[in-house]
A and B are shown apart, each in its own frame.
Chain A
Amino acid sequence: MNRLCDSMEPKVMDDDMLKLAVGEQGPQEEAGQLAKQEGILFKDVLSLQLDFRNILRIDNLWQFENLRKLQLDNNIIEKIEGLENLTHLVWLDLSFNNIETIEGLDTLVNLEDLSLFNNRISKIDSLDALVKLQVLSLGNNQIDNMMNIVYLRRFQCLRTLSLSGNPISEAEDYKMFICAYLPDLVYLDFRRIDDHTKELAEAKHQYSIDELKHRENLMQVRLQDERARQEELEKHKTAFVEHLNGSFLFDSMYAEDSEGNKLSYLPGVSELLEAYKDKFVIICMNIFEYGLKQQEKRKIELDTFSECVHEAIQENQEQGKRKIAQFEEKHLSSLSAIREESELPNIEKMILECSADVSELFNELMMLEMQLVEQLEETINMFERNIVDMVGLFIENVQSLMAQCRDLENHHHEKLLEISISTLEKIVKGDLDEDLPDAPASLFVDKDTIVNAVGASHDIHLLKIDNREDELVTRINSWCTRLVDKIHKDEIMRNRKRVKEINQYIDHMQSELDNLEYSDILD
């Protein structure tokens, strides 16, 4: 591998070198003259060839944003770098270099053909981003572990692979192994794999492959499950009622409540707690379902709204297009009439007429646009009112449900207090049937302590409920404001764009007319 790198001076990829290469490989002949006149921008270049230049380090390529094909073969590059910006790259040739590890290719998602032939690579790695990879050439390297092949299974488009000249290709099982593990492969080491070989390979490695497949499937299923769960949660989040379809809130109430947990050991409390939990969860479920329903309603509302707005805009556009088409027809005929006319006064008159037409078109188009703006404004305001109402109603109902939760909590609190006090009295009297565990026993010192403990637990619970409610309300409110804002902003943007477009068109027409005038006067 130590090719001539010592005998020749390594070169630097600088601007001059790149310019020269671009100039050489750019358009030729007439087009070439033009190109020379104007100069070629690096970002317009689609393909670049930089072979046999003794390049040591890849550099200065960040301007070639649209490059599709890059050839850097037969240099002395040691590290893949500086290619991050070339995201459109389809073809990359890095063969006959001194590269040791595969790296720096993570942004080249469009790459289809990668050649790393004759390098010093020992491990196939870091190619995860290259989902479209079809051709991979890794011959004459130092890959010595057969398990590298398994890594290539993830490239579903891979059809051509070359690995000859690696230590693994010496292995007697080499071909069979690859055929078995990469069943979609068509060409291996520049030869077509025939069906017979494939069958043989499959039979030979069936067990290990099946196992592998099984593992992969399991992984896949797990991933899918995870994704489905995420999606479900996401859906609930958009309805602002996530984690309300169960005892999550209830559990969280007791998670940080040490007193409450202690108190639950009191006789009769556990039953009380059970009943309380059931009721609480039912209310939570109610909120959850109501939230989903409301979300559905809001969605339908939004869909209808955007559909109607879209229709209105389409209709308006059609009208505008028709107007322009009519105008253009007329305009073209009058332009040709002007060209043919020879009398100067007549020409002037006609040009005046034309410009009047243009301004009339402008007026018409602007009128259409203004009309649309007015109509849309009205509709948007209506939608805004409705959606705010809906959100308000939702919040109100949720709040009333939450109040039920609070009532439950209060009720529970009273009961608990009662039990606690009676227990305390019993303890004081000393006729408690059974011994209490240590933790709750420490609370039953006097009345204040026990009342405080129960109160603290109650406060924590109420706080949790309040927090959840506040979160829901803030989030839905902010969603609502954001939505309305966005609609308004979109409409304004649309309006500005349209006005700009009309102005641009009218300006063009006007300038065309002016040019005509000018040239006529010159004539």
Chain B
Amino acid sequence: MFERKSKRESLPSYVLYTSPKPSPRPPRDAPVVLVAPAWSDSQPWRILPLPHRDILSPDSQRRSRMEVLREKVEEEEEAEREEAAKRAEWARTEKMMRPVEVRKEETTLTQEMLRDLEKKLSEIQIPISAELPAFTKDTIDISKLPVSYKTNTPKEEHLLQVADNFSRQYSHLCPDRVPLFLHPLNECEVPKFVSTTLRPTLMPYPELYNWDSCAQFVSDFLTMVPLPDPLKPPSHLYSSTTVLNYQKGNCFDFSTMLCSMLIGSGYDAYCVNGYGSLDLCHMDLTREVCPLTVKPKETVQKEEKVLPKKYTIRPPRDLCSRFEQEQEVKKQQEIRAQEKKQLREEEERLMEAEKAKPDALHGLRVHSWVLVLSGKREVPENFFIDAFTGHSYSTQDERFLGIESLWNHKNYWINMQDCWNCCKDLIFDLGDPVRWEYMLLGTDKSQLSLTEEDDSGINDEDDVENLGKEDEDKSFDMPHSWVEQIEISPEAFETRCPNGKKVIQYKRAKLEKWAPYLNSNGLVSRLTTYEDLECTNILEIKEWYQNREDMLELKHINKTTDLKIDYFKPGHPQALRVHSYKSMQPEMDRVIEFYETARVDGLIKREETARTMTEYYQGRPDFLSYRHANFRPRVKKLALSSAESNPRPIVKITEQFFRNPAKPAEEDVAERVFLLAEERIQLRYHCRDDHITASKREFLRRTEVDSKGNKIIMTPDMCISFEVEPMEHTKKLLYQYEAMMHLKREEKLSRHQVWESELEVLEILKLREEEEAAHTLTISIYDTKRNEKSKEYREAMERVMHEEHLRQVETQLDYLAPFLAQLPPGEKLTRWQAVRLKDECLSDFKQRLINKANLIQARFEKETQELQKKQQWYQENQVTLTPEDEDLYLSYCSQAMFRIRILEQRLNRHKELAPLKYLALEEKLYKDPRLGELQKIFA
């Protein structure tokens, strides 16, 4: 104790080292003064939520005191609630003050004094809520929220009482600890217990089933808002519904939502209220190395020392001087030590520069994160998830400075362990009541330590059972969550970040994220790496793309070397895999890699420099593995000649082949070199298994004509060969001649191949440029929202369906209905009635047909009359008419004639169809089941 105190006096930032409990919260006015850690010597105390827990302490005296206390507490609670109703606007202050009053109460225990004090204190307004940036309750539309958000059920009320009681006892027993974060107000200003704010939800997206992607989603989806007061938990804790709607929240909102989702997908997850470092609380990643830039550590493959087999040959005797070796090693070590030292110094210097400024409030900043305990979903060990960043941390991480309490949807635990060494010494055995004080009995005590069970033993099994029953009777279940299920629409899920864009600043790196299809070129994220901490000099840029038609996946631009590397997914029309280049001009340095299985020629890689081209192949039937061509600079012909029409002259082509197991080694060519300029062909054969030398052969074509002018076909000096095992038939000129002829043909082919490769490069470059310019995006046929074609089709289908439906409704129109309505309903028709009905119906229909015919007739006549009138008028005024009027008249005439003709046609058609329609109706009436009587006559 003394040691601690002395430290405290000497060190200004003592909190980090000496804070004896998780919440070293100083009073507001004097943040340096601390109350003595009284709790550490009061070991066996218990907190007793009412009325569900017995006093486990054997001390009966204390029990009686507790009972008195309980009564008082209840009275006090009553009064308090009345007041709370009166002063809703003071809710915040009051809650803040509650711990103080509780503490007071235990010393004075007089109501009047308490009220007095309370009043006084309540007058001290602390203007914090006003500082809430952007996301205040005023801006929240609570009208659409369900009732459960606005009121408390009796059970919830009960729970709140229990919680208050728990809190009072807690503050009584641990007067120096900060008040508990138990029931903040929700968006409707209703106090809600934190556990009920958790709404375990299993999301319908398979991507959100695992904790890492889930945490990443929450961190992407919400925008971080700092706590109004960094030193204490917020007064409000909104439901996930609201948080999702506004896509904003503080650390408590983040962790509540993440915790709900994790519990929903089966994790043993808890919300934690504790203390974090400055970086953590402000979601400041500028001192973190971006996870994307971290290169995966190359696992050094330990070469397993193979046990020397029984007959392994002895190594040749080592004749080197051992002394000299030792001296050498010593020297080397010295040099290395020097280097190491320098390196370390350099590192230290760098670290110093990067180190954060000391934080005055270190250890006091309130933060909330998620704890995942091992056991469920195959989680091997406990870990933290910071909901802001979505990163996971070990429980040993020194950024997490302490835990005040934690809760899940079933219970609430207070940490009773010392957090002087961050969270490193904490033991997350929530079943251990000494380390974790629980609020509700009977809910699952996770990991009730096995030793205890062993201690309780088998001999008093009955007792244990009885105990269990009692526990059950007294246990108070956490009421069901008042929050609605978390719902994220597919659109929102896809857009992820608010407005589909998010920027994260890391140490020497900046990461930008976009929703897919937001950028027209398919860009989804960009990582910019900088050389310096201030982020001014760009080192390299990595851009990730999605849904691009050219399958471009990643573009990597190195700013220092100017090298660009494009990575493609399988499916590019040219089977591109990687394309690294400095400029898009042909015949420059570039490397193109291919998906060799997608290519007919099995090309893996093509490297180009200004004067050479190298190709690597695999899996070809001719076993070609490598082709290298050297070029000479192009002979300048015409200025117009392009690369296509004027290929560079080839100096040398080297081809290498894999071993063809079907051929004997001395006939299987391993390498052939066509020296085009010297008219020389060199062959090297494969080496036989038990040989160390390989056959070689060199063909020369010096002269085609001898001194006499005769054509020389083949002479022995045109082929120089070395054979490992000289064979007879290869010495023959005929054989050599045939081989040479064959090689000549091959040479031509190879040359052609090289040219074709060049052309292909040109083609690829052209295609790439086009693709870059167009950057079209593919849309999956299953994507019903974006796929225009399918959308149109679907809409058309819907329209057709609708029309069809209308028509059906029309056809189903009951032609008997008006007549049946005249008859008494529900009775079977007599024959006479049926006959009458039928006749009526038919005559009615007949009438309708006639009416229709009349109508058409009338219209026809009207039109004809009008036309006649017009014609008359025309003949009368023909002389005086202007050309315009005449035109008008003529056009009128033609239109009228057209109308008349149409009417005539309609009339004729009607005349034709009317009897048929009449007969059809008659037929239908006969078949109508309601007029079954009719059929009987005819049957």
**Chain A nearest CB: distance from B673 CB in Å?**
11
CA distance A502 to B724 in the complex (A): 10
Which of B156-164, B312-320, B587-595 contacts the other chain?
Answer: B312-320
B: residues with CB less than 8 A from A are 309-314, 316, 687, 690-693, 713-714, 720, 722, 724, 729, 732-734, 737-738, 741
CA distance A372 to B315 in the complex (A): 10
CA distance A87 to B343 in the complex (A): 75
**Chain A nearest CB: distance from B632 CB in Å?**
18
Interface string of A356-382 (1 = CB under 8 A from B): 000000000100000110011011001
**Chain A nearest CB: distance from B184 CB in Å?**
74
Interface string of A470-512 (1 = CB under 8 A from B): 0000000000000000000000001001100110110010001
Say yes or no for A317: interface residue by CB 8 A criterion. yes
- 6 tightest CB-CB pairs across the interface, nearest first? A320-B692, A308-B311, A375-B313, A312-B313, A505-B693, A508-B722
Q: Of all chain A residues, which has the CB nearest B721?
A: A508
Also in contact, A383 and B311, with CB within 8 A (given A34-B734, A38-B734, A504-B724) = yes
**Chain B contact surface mostly:** loop
Interface string of A435-471 (1 = CB under 8 A from B): 0000000000000000000000000000000000000
Also in contact, A304 and B732, with CB within 8 A (given A31-B738, A375-B314, A375-B316) = no
By size class, the interface of chain A is 35 or more
Say yes or no for A305: interface residue by CB 8 A criterion. yes
Q: Which residues on A sit within 8 Å (CB–CB) of B733?
A: 34, 37-38
Q: Which residues on B sit within 8 Å (CB–CB) of A176?
A: none
Q: Which of B312, B313, B714, B729 contacts A34 (CB 8 A)?
A: B714
Residue pairs across A and B with Cβ atoms less than 8 A apart, 23 shown, are A30-B737, A31-B734, A31-B738, A33-B713, A34-B734, A35-B734, A38-B732, A38-B733, A44-B729, A304-B310, A304-B311, A307-B311, A308-B311, A309-B311, A317-B692, A320-B692, A321-B687, A376-B313, A378-B314, A379-B311, A501-B692, A501-B693, A504-B693
Say yes or no for A216: interface residue by CB 8 A criterion. no
Say yes or no for A324: interface residue by CB 8 A criterion. yes
**Chain B nearest CB: distance from A112 CB in Å?**
18
**Are B316 and A371 in touch, CB under 8 angstroms?**
yes
Q: Of all chain A residues, which has the CB nearest B729?
A: A44
**Chain A nearest CB: distance from B502 CB in Å?**
56
Interface residues of A in 503-523 (CB under 8 A from B): 504-505, 508, 512
Say yes or no for A311: interface residue by CB 8 A criterion. yes
CA distance A317 to B688 in the complex (A): 11
**Are B691 and A501 in touch, CB under 8 angstroms?**
yes
**Are A34 and B722 in touch, CB under 8 angstroms?**
no
**Chain A contact surface mostly:** helix
Q: Of all chain A residues, which has the CB nearest B312?
A: A308
The CB with the most chain A CB atoms within 10 A, among B310, B714, B729, is that of B310
Q: Which residues on A sit within 8 Å (CB–CB) of B692?
A: 317, 320-321, 324, 365, 498, 501-502
Q: Which residues on A sit within 8 Å (CB–CB) of B724?
A: 501, 504
Q: Which residues on A sit within 8 Å (CB–CB) of B690?
A: 313, 317, 494, 497
**Chain A nearest CB: distance from B829 CB in Å?**
65
Q: Which residues on A sit within 8 Å (CB–CB) of B732?
A: 38
CA distance A27 to B734 in the complex (A): 9
Q: Of all chain B residues, which has the CB nearest A27?
A: B734
Q: Of all chain B residues, which has the CB nearest A40?
A: B734
Given contacts A38-B732, A317-B692, A383-B311, 5 further A-B pairs with CB under 8 A are: A31-B713, A304-B310, A324-B692, A324-B693, A502-B693
Q: Which residues on A sit within 8 Å (CB–CB) of B314?
A: 375, 378
Q: Which residues on A sit within 8 Å (CB–CB) of B714?
A: 34
**Chain A nearest CB: distance from B311 CB in Å?**
4
Q: Which residues on B sit within 8 Å (CB–CB) of A37?
A: 733
CA distance A502 to B691 in the complex (A): 10
Interface string of A24-58 (1 = CB under 8 A from B): 00010011011101101100100000000000000
CA distance A312 to B313 in the complex (A): 7
**Chain A nearest CB: distance from B706 CB in Å?**
14
Also in contact, A30 and B713, with CB within 8 A (given A304-B309, A308-B312) = yes
Q: Of all chain B residues, which has the CB nearest A308?
A: B311
CA distance A383 to B312 in the complex (A): 11
**Are B309 and A308 in touch, CB under 8 angstroms?**
yes
**Are B313 and A378 in touch, CB under 8 angstroms?**
yes
CA distance A34 to B316 in the complex (A): 54
The CB with the most chain A CB atoms within 10 A, among B311, B314, B316, B691, is that of B311
Interface string of A408-431 (1 = CB under 8 A from B): 000000000000000000000000
Q: Which residues on B sit within 8 Å (CB–CB) of A504?
A: 693, 724
Q: Of all chain B residues, which has the CB nearest A494?
A: B690
CA distance A187 to B876 in the complex (A): 97
Q: Of all chain A residues, which has the CB nearest B728?
A: A41
CA distance A41 to B735 in the complex (A): 12
Q: Which of B312, B316, B722, B729 contacts A311 (CB 8 A)?
A: B312
CA distance A379 to B314 in the complex (A): 8
Q: Which residues on B sit within 8 Å (CB–CB) of A40?
A: 734
**Chain B nearest CB: distance from A299 CB in Å?**
14
CA distance A38 to B733 in the complex (A): 8
Q: Of all chain A residues, which has the CB nearest B713?
A: A30
The CB with the most chain A CB atoms within 10 A, among B313, B687, B713, B714, is that of B313
CA distance A512 to B720 in the complex (A): 9
Q: Of all chain B residues, which has the CB nearest A498?
A: B692
Q: Of all chain A residues, which has the CB nearest B308?
A: A308
CA distance A357 to B729 in the complex (A): 32
CA distance A363 to B423 in the complex (A): 70
CA distance A417 to B368 in the complex (A): 103
Q: Which residues on A sit within 8 Å (CB–CB) of B713?
A: 30-31, 33-34
CA distance A497 to B693 in the complex (A): 12
CA distance A474 to B734 in the complex (A): 57
Q: Which residues on A sit within 8 Å (CB–CB) of B729?
A: 41, 44
CA distance A508 to B694 in the complex (A): 12
**Are B310 and A308 in touch, CB under 8 angstroms?**
yes
The CB with the most chain B CB atoms within 10 A, among A34, A312, A313, A498, is that of A34
CA distance A308 to B690 in the complex (A): 15
CA distance A321 to B738 in the complex (A): 30
Q: Which residues on A sit within 8 Å (CB–CB) of B693?
A: 324, 501-502, 504-505
CA distance A497 to B690 in the complex (A): 9
CA distance A375 to B314 in the complex (A): 6
**Chain A nearest CB: distance from B935 CB in Å?**
56
**Chain A nearest CB: distance from B575 CB in Å?**
34
Q: Which of A38, A382, A498 contacts B311 (CB 8 A)?
A: A382
Interface residues of A in 311-368 (CB under 8 A from B): 311-313, 317, 320-321, 324, 365
Interface string of A387-423 (1 = CB under 8 A from B): 0000000000000000000000000000000000000
**Are B737 and A31 in touch, CB under 8 angstroms?**
yes
Q: Which residues on B sit within 8 Å (CB–CB) of A497?
A: 690
CA distance A494 to B691 in the complex (A): 10
Q: Which residues on B sit within 8 Å (CB–CB) of A317?
A: 690-692
Q: Which residues on B sit within 8 Å (CB–CB) of A383?
A: 311
CA distance A372 to B733 in the complex (A): 40
**Chain B nearest CB: distance from A330 CB in Å?**
16
CA distance A137 to B871 in the complex (A): 99
Q: Which of A41, A307, A498, A508 contacts B309 (CB 8 A)?
A: A307
**Chain B nearest CB: distance from A405 CB in Å?**
35
Q: Which residues on A sit within 8 Å (CB–CB) of B313?
A: 308-309, 312, 372, 375-376, 378-379
Q: Of all chain A residues, which has the CB nearest B315?
A: A375
**Chain A nearest CB: distance from B23 CB in Å?**
68
**Chain A nearest CB: distance from B736 CB in Å?**
9
Q: Of all chain A residues, which has the CB nearest B692?
A: A320
The CB with the most chain B CB atoms within 10 A, among A27, A301, A308, is that of A308
Q: Which residues on B sit within 8 Å (CB–CB) of A372?
A: 313
CA distance A38 to B715 in the complex (A): 12
CA distance A312 to B311 in the complex (A): 10
Q: Which residues on B sit within 8 Å (CB–CB) of A379?
A: 311, 313
CA distance A378 to B738 in the complex (A): 50
CA distance A234 to B713 in the complex (A): 61
CA distance A358 to B311 in the complex (A): 34
Q: Of all chain A residues, which has the CB nearest B733?
A: A34
